[in-house]
Amino acid sequence: MKQKIDSVLDTSGLICPEPVMLLHKSVRELSIGEVIEVIATDPATTRDIPKFCQFLGHELISQTNNADISYRYLIKKS
């Protein structure tokens, strides 16, 4: 079953700490249980976004690295 996505945050071209700062702002606007898709090009997000989820208690549903040097995350607000 395909995951329903409620919001998309494209941080392509931005570098640390901007992707996580924008994610923090975007997650605040979601309701509990909603899912945000984050698209990033900064390799630091592979470390920063999982730590963000762990620290704030959100569920990192998936984390994928794409061949075009981008990263995709699905996060459910808790």
Q: Which residues are catalytic?
A: 16
Encoding tokens for residue 75?
Answer: 């996060």
**CB of 31 closer than 8 Å to CB of 77:** yes
Exposed / middle / buried, residue 41 (Cβ in 10 Å: 0-12, 13-18, 19+):
middle
